[in-house]
């Protein structure tokens, strides 16, 4: 299905570039230190460069932006591509509201669940923790790629987070449950609700 050819546009690449940038800035800062110290002691130049590497390690724990609410299906989808995937209500998803900034590659805890993944077919976020992968609006089951998102749940809502994001047991998608209706489910009718109350950080 051309996965290899779109590799460069994988959602992974966005924070990846940011990580590279962070490392580059860290290195530049280190070199700045080197320049200042290096004028007095040449060989000492190596240590400030080494000192910049822990910052690079820390950036492995990260968040990804560009996750949005779809006004048509109420699902969470990735808007970082030129197109907007496949919406169960027809055509691509339509974004509105917050720009969610979702954590990945952090440990699972009693208030954060891992195994939430990007679907390469519909661009939606779905739960990958079952043997099958739910129902994709692009046909058959969702297909996983990219980061392992670890989503906070059942914690107090703050100015920087939104609660009422839920798992749909029919399609395995993540959708917003805060309206009287529950959007459009690729498995038919509206989404169903089960499990945790996810409380998601946004910009
Ligand atoms: Zn949609
Ligand atoms: Zn899908
Ligand atoms: Zn659903």
**Cα 167 to ligand 3 centre (Å):** 8
Cα-based torsion angle of the residue sequence 74, 76, 80, 81 in order, rounded to the nearest 10 degrees: -60
CA-CA-CA-CA torsion sign (200, 149, 68, 101): positive
**DSSP code at position 2:** -
pLDDT of residue 45: 36
- The percent of the chain in helix, strand and coil, each rounded to the nearest 5, is 20, 35, 45
Ligand nearest to the CA of 173: 3
**Cα 170 to ligand 3 centre (Å):** 5
**Cα 162 to ligand 1 centre (Å):** 19
**DSSP code at position 191:** P
**Cα 109 to ligand 2 centre (Å):** 26
- How far apart, in whole angstroms, are the C-alpha atoms of residue 87 and residue 16? 27
pTM of the model: 0.71
**Cα 134 to ligand 3 centre (Å):** 9
| Residues around ligand 3, an ion, CB closer than 5 A | 168, 170-171, 173, 185, 191
CA-CA-CA-CA torsion sign (68, 70, 75, 77): negative
Run means of pLDDT, 10 residues per run, the chain, 203 residues: 40 40 37 34 36 42 94 98 97 98 97 98 98 98 97 98 98 98 98 98 97
pLDDT of residue 61: 67
* Contact (Cβ atoms closer than 8 angstroms) between residue 127 and residue 167: yes
Ligand nearest to the CA of 171: 3
**DSSP code at position 58:** H
Ligand nearest to the CA of 70: 1
**Cα 146 to ligand 3 centre (Å):** 21
pLDDT of residue 60: 60
pLDDT of residue 21: 38
pLDDT of residue 136: 98
CA-CA-CA-CA torsion sign (170, 175, 176, 179): negative
């Amino acid at each position: 299905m051309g996965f290899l050819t779109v590799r460069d546009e994988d959602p992974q690449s966005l924070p990846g570039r940011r990580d590279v940038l962070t490392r580059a800035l860290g290195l530049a800062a280190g070199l700045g230190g080197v320049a200042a110290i290096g004028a007095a002691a040449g060989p000492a130049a190596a240590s400030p460069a080494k000192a910049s590497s822990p910052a690079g390690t820390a950036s492995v724990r990260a968040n990804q932006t560009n996750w949005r609410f779809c006004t048509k299906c109420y699902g969470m989808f990735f808007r970082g591509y030129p197109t907007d995937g496949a919406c169960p209500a027809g055509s691509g998803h339509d974004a509105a509201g917050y720009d969610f900034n979702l954590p990945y590659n952090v440990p699972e805890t009693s208030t954060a669940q891992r195994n939430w993944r990007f679907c390469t077919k519909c661009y939606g976020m779905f739960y990958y923790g079952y043997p099958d992968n739910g129902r994709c609006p692009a046909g058959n089951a969702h297909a996983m790629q990219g980061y392992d998102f670890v989503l906070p749940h059942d914690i107090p809502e703050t100015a920087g987070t939104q609660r009422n994001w839920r798992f749909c047991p029919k399609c395995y998608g993540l959708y917003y449950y805060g309206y009287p209706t529950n959007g459009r489910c690729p498995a038919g009718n509206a989404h169903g609700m089960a499990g945790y109350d996810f409380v998601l950080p946004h910009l």
